Amino acid sequence: MSTELRTDTDARARTTTPVIADSATGISLTVQDGVAIIAYDQPQSPVNTLNSRIGPVFEQCFACIERDDTITGAVLVSAKVDSWIAGADIEELTHIRTAQEGETLSRNGHALLDRLAAMRKPVVAAIHGAALGGGLEVALACRYRIATEHVKTVLALPEVQLGLIPGAGGTQRLPRLVGLQAALDMILTGKNIRAKKAWQMGLVHELVHPAILREVAMTRVRDLAAGRTPPVKARVQSTSDMLLEDNAIGRKLVFRKARESVMQKTQGKYPAPLAALDVIQHGYAEGAEAGQREEARRFGALAVSPVCRQLASLFFATTALKKDNGLPDGMTATPRPVTKIAVLGAGFMGAGITGVAVQAGTQVRLKDASLDRLATGWKSVRDVLRERLKKRQITRLQMDETLSLIGGTTDYRGFGNVDIVIEAVFEELAVKHQVLREVQAVAPEAIFASNTSTIPIRDIAAAAARPDRVLGMHFFSPVHKMPLLEIIVTPATSPETIVTAVQYGRKLGKTVIVVQDGAGFYVNRILAPYLNEAGRLLDEGAKIDEVDAALTAFGFPVGPITLLDEVGLDIAGKSGPIMAAAFGDRMLPSESLRRMVEGGRVGRKSKQGFYRYDESGKRVGVDETVYALTPAGATRQRVAVEEIQRRCVLPMLNEAVRCLQHGIIRNARDGDIGAVFGIGFPPFLGGPVPLSRHAWSAHGHRTARCVERALCGALRAGGVAARDGGNRTALSSVTCRDRRCCRFLLLFSP
């Protein structure tokens, strides 16, 4: 440890108090007018995190404060610009090898924060920026908490998103501070709480402007030390809350309802929320000390669980992606600034893109063929903003200012100075060629980005005067909710164009992956065989709701049939022939889907799809008349859940590995991020690429006879791909007509 104790001359003249400075951790203690300032500035890191090295330094600070009678108390601050403490060091957590190691780490956290909570001199947490996970647990152990009323200041316990539970006492302190139901809402969802909401619920005592945070915090230290009561907002409990939370019977009901909700949302695939419920309930029944012991035990077990490992892997993948410029290794380019864009098409996708752009502060020129369509698009953006206003995420003034960034037009006036033009017009190549020529005539320097979901970008760029400025920016629906942006590049796309699009996509708040051009790109390409196989199950007599239920039980947020209804059967019908033309029979749409499209059923938007919908668009059950359109007719048969899952998921895994081998995606990381953030692939499985490594070992006992029957056929005909660059994965697309087995098969060479 590089801790250095030194005596500052001026400080000695005022207080004779030593100053602690630890260069390794970035923790320092100074004294100002009798108040200790503990500042944390983790070196070589944009944020402060908690690790095993900081505990002894904090202990030393606490001891110094306690033994020096000239110090009245302390303020805990961050020296980072817009971040307080962002939680535990995730990389350190991945080094935990046994449950006992994880339990010991949690117990050490308890000891440190119990020491902080027991300080006889007051410690005030002065919070500006994110106080997350262990950072919030540190604040909870302080006697008083002040937060800045600033957009960067959020508080959360997001451990469940990494497959963990709070491990430094958060499961015990938070419920006793804000109430059981509010605490469960935070711990079981991991959601961010903004500063004003935190004050309203009693999580922080006071809100101030960032400019006076430290000054007010020092005043509160002196008030507390002198026995004066600072301003504290009392937590308001409704009568129902008191009836539920202030007695054992009411709490039992709260826990039961919370457990039912968790099981409904997670299908039991994520152990952390259930463990958190157990630990909190144990603390209420046996006391906080027993609750902490149980917290440590369960934290240790979760830290080495497969789910935690996979979620941590996704965390590191998304973190690494934020630093990726989208270019091949070693290549660099300088992105152009983007302050104004144009969006072609004010329909559902065009309006969605416009909405996220203006919320990012970008001026948008929205073009469509008629004023009525423009008005509809503007209204769609307004509705999204109204929802944010209703949730008090923005003010009325902010809403009005955001809407003022939209300028509507039915021609190309105002396009001369746009930086990017995003095309979201009808999904026909001739239409896209027309608008591309028109755009490059009036805005030759602008990047032209197509939001097409299936048409190859090279085909669109064939009409371009500047193909180097053409790429795809594939947003997912609904744009304001879906986190992924897929940027599609061709060999002609310039590095500057790529890095500009990547940087702007991140400005929009999207997780960005860069993929090579090809039919369906990456996300829709791996989604197509999944949806097609679900349709084939209907062809053969499976029930609509049972297919959906099997895949939600697997871990998808919605089933494939529901997804088809949500996306629109007309869109799926248009993309099917494109995919089949590019990849052959394995991408042929099901007969059921073809007949649905021919029958004019397009899904929820027409209130006619595989499911029935009421006038408001709410789903009310399976439309039994659909079965008459399928090859199997009205006769339905029960198909085993496991078979439905294998038949739908394994083709997706196959296609993901193909995309990796064929260079559509640059690496497995991008493939996993694209699947999880783009189509809701179960995060607890890590993504399709890691899961594919286990597919053969997991299902070999059921598919061995498929292989035996296919050896002299598909495999010898070239179904198995050669090894690629040392990659041990070999791929087969064996088609099996024995419906007891999966249709597609992944093989791995030894």
Q: Which residues are catalytic?
A: 486
DSSP 571-619: HHHHHHHHHHHHHGGGGPPPHHHHHHHHTT--BGGGTBSSEEE-TTS-E
Owner of token pair 């937060």: 147
Distance between start and end Cα atoms, the chain: 47
Non-local CB neighbours of 574 within 8 Å, separated by 6+ positions: 427, 454
User: How far is Cα 296 from Cα 186, in angstroms, rounded to an integer?
Assistant: 19
311-341 burial, b at 16+ Cβ within 10 Å, e below that, comes to bbbbbebbeebeebbbbeeeeeeebbebebb
Which residue in 413, 408, 487, 463 sits closest to 443, CA to CA? 413
User: Do residues 321 and 512 touch, judged by C-beta distance below 8 A?
Assistant: yes
Q: What is the DSSP letter of 634?
A: T
User: Do residues 514 and 629 touch, judged by C-beta distance below 8 A?
Assistant: no
User: How far is Cα 570 from Cα 578, in angstroms, rounded to an integer?
Assistant: 13
Q: Looking at the chain, how many residues does it have?
A: 750
Q: What is the DSSP letter of 392?
A: T
Any alpha helices (H) in 267-305, and if so which ranges? 271-286, 288-303
What one-letter code names the amino acid at 271?
P
Any alpha helices (H) in 44-194, and if so which ranges? 54-67, 90-94, 99-117, 134-141, 170-178, 180-189
Owner of token pair 């995060």: 683
Q: For 491-503, give the secondary structure using H, E and C.
A: CCCCHHHHHHHHH
